[in-house]
Amino acid sequence: MKIHVKNVIKRFGDLLVLDNVSFRVYENEFLCICGPTGCGKTTLLNIIAGLTSATNSNPVLINDEPIDPQKHNISFVFQEPSCLPWRNVRDNVRFGLEIKKAVLKQGLSENEIHDKVRKIISLVGLDEFEEYYPHQISGGMKQRVAIAQAFVMDPDLLLMDEPFGYLDVQTRYYMEKEVLRIWEKLKRTVIFVTHNIEEAVYLAERVVVFTELPARVKAVIPIDLPRPRDYTDPKFVEIRRQITKLVKWW
């Protein structure tokens, strides 16, 4: 799935949040959006997903047409905990598949759903917690549930909004590797928002750097490092330094 973001403008009242933001995401690319906190990254992601409308009309094209969640297979991992508290871990992971089946009549069979859900839950290491409710597990585990819910959809476009912000360093590192592994295997388009520059350089094929509010695209940095990447590789450090300089607003 390729995405064309062209001249997105978003105002909340008098506040201009996105000021002519344009970039492209190529088919099966892993793109990171990096920028200072509160610069409108989340807003842009919501616009791409069709959850918020831009102030100008149809500035985001997915495969050359306007976004439609019922038509395009999109998954979104939200920044804040998004598990439904009345569903246990397993039923949370199933949620999207159930929607596809009930609303779009294009779902998998019950057996296929069962197997898929089981597999993905064990992938995020929650086998023993299938029956647990969100209030019974930790914040990091909840985020893994949300990630499993997104991955299980085999989305053509995966949007991730600082998905690992709530995780401890260890789990975060593990999840980053996991996301990359899945991406390399499935080859889907990923847009990953983060304010963690190191994370962006570790994950992305290209990093789009935003300015402060109102957000504009400050630079697009390609990262041509072999994978798996090494945080201590001088080239890695150099790119990180370069982006840090761009993001600096003090």
Partner 1 sequence: MKKIVVSDKILNILVILGFIGLWQLMATIIESPFFPDVIETMRAFVDLAKHGDVDGYSLLAHIEVSLIRIGAGFGLACLIGIPLGLIMGLFPITYEGSRSVIEPIRYIPPIAWIPLVIVLLRGFSRYVFIIWLGAFFPILINTLTSIPRVNPVHVNVARVNGADRGYIVRHVVIPSVLPEILAGMRVGLGVGWMCIVAAEMIGGEMIGLGYLILKYAQLLMIEYSIVGMVLIGIIGFTMNEVLVRIEKRLFKWRWEVVV
For partner 1, the binding residue among 9, 16, 61, 137 (CB under 8 A) is: 137
For partner 1, the binding residue among 37, 64, 102, 111 (CB under 8 A) is: 102
Q: What's the min distance (Å) between Cβ of 169 and partner 1?
A: 22
Alpha carbon distance, N-terminus to C-terminus of the chain? 37
> Stretches 19-27, 100-108, 216-224, 230-238: which one binds partner 1 (CB under 8 A)?
100-108
Tell me how crowded residue 206 is: count the other CB atoms within 10 A of its CB. Answer: 19
Q: What would the x/- binding string for partner 1 be over residues 30 to 59, using CB under 8 A?
A: ----------------x--xxx--------
**99 lies in the binding site for partner 1 (CB under 8 A):** yes
Q: 164 Cβ partners below 8 Å, 6+ apart?
A: 143, 171, 172, 175, 176, 194, 199
> Stretches 26-34, 67-75, 205-213, 236-244: which one binds partner 1 (CB under 8 A)?
67-75
By CB under 8 A, the residues from 187 to 226 that bind partner 1 are none
**80 lies in the binding site for partner 1 (CB under 8 A):** yes
For partner 1, the binding residue among 28, 63, 82, 196 (CB under 8 A) is: 82
For partner 1, the binding residue among 8, 36, 44, 75 (CB under 8 A) is: 75
Question: For partner 1, which is the closer residue by CB, 79 or 211?
Answer: 79
Question: For partner 1, which is the closer residue by CB, 78 or 183?
Answer: 78
> Directed axis angle between helix 89-103 and helix 110-123, to 10°?
140
Tell me how crowded residue 32 is: count the other CB atoms within 10 A of its CB. Answer: 26
For partner 1, the binding residue among 35, 96, 163, 214 (CB under 8 A) is: 96
Q: What's the min distance (Å) between Cβ of 155 and partner 1?
A: 9
Is the Cβ–Cβ distance between 201 and 236 less than 8 Å?
yes
Task: Please provide the DSSP assignment of 100-154 as one string.
Answer: HHHHSS----HHHHHHHHHHHHHHTT-GGGTT--GGGS-HHHHHHHHHHHHHTT-
Q: What are phi and psi of 80, to 5 degrees?
A: -90, 155
User: Helix, strand or coil for residue 90?
Assistant: helix
For partner 1, the binding residue among 24, 114, 133, 244 (CB under 8 A) is: 133
Alpha carbons 33 and 42: distance in angstroms, whole number: 10
Q: 223 Cβ partners below 8 Å, 6+ apart?
A: 201, 204, 205, 206, 207, 239
Binding interface with partner 1 (CB under 8 A): 46, 49-51, 69-70, 74-76, 78, 80-82, 84-86, 95-96, 98-100, 102-104, 133-137, 149, 153
